[in-house]
Structure 1
Amino acid sequence: MTKKYSSFAAIDKDLEILKLQKRIDERKLNLSFNQTVDAFTPTTILQKAISNSDSLLYGFGIVRKIVVPLLINKFFKKK
């Protein structure tokens, strides 16, 4: 389907719209990539594993969100 333009201004307008759509799509892709990378960090994986299991910390969500990252950071800093 080809579009017929009657002026250069209409062409410029459509080009600007396409340019902005491209920038939006690039930013969405970048955000999605960063969220995917964050989802596979050791801290996130361990937090999800603990939150999905019946652990001793069940019911202590705030404690779990604070203690687990501290323990993980302490563990990785020792190496």
Structure 2
Amino acid sequence: MRERFDARDFFASAPKAVTLAAIEEACGAEAAARAGKLKKGELVEVAVATVVPTGWLPREIRWPGYAGPGAASASSEAEAA
């Protein structure tokens, strides 16, 4: 799935809040706070450069064995449901 995920397209079409949430999940709250001051185009470039190398994927396309950033919170949410 990672090979097929088009991060640039995803972040370019996602609302700013979604992109910032991805940055926070993959890189931490401090990185997201810094990125929050950027314009959309700059934010997309930062997300592609910093989030993609971590192996992060959107929750909607994570599989049961996904072990990237946010995996623990995703499995916790599934158990709570």
User: TM-score range with shorter-chain normalisation?
Assistant: under 0.3
- The alignment's TM-score, normalised by the length of structure 2, stands at 0.27
Larger radius of gyration: 1
**Which structure is richer in relative contact order (CA contacts within 8 A, separation 6 or more)?**
2
For normalisation by structure 1, the TM-score amounts to 0.27
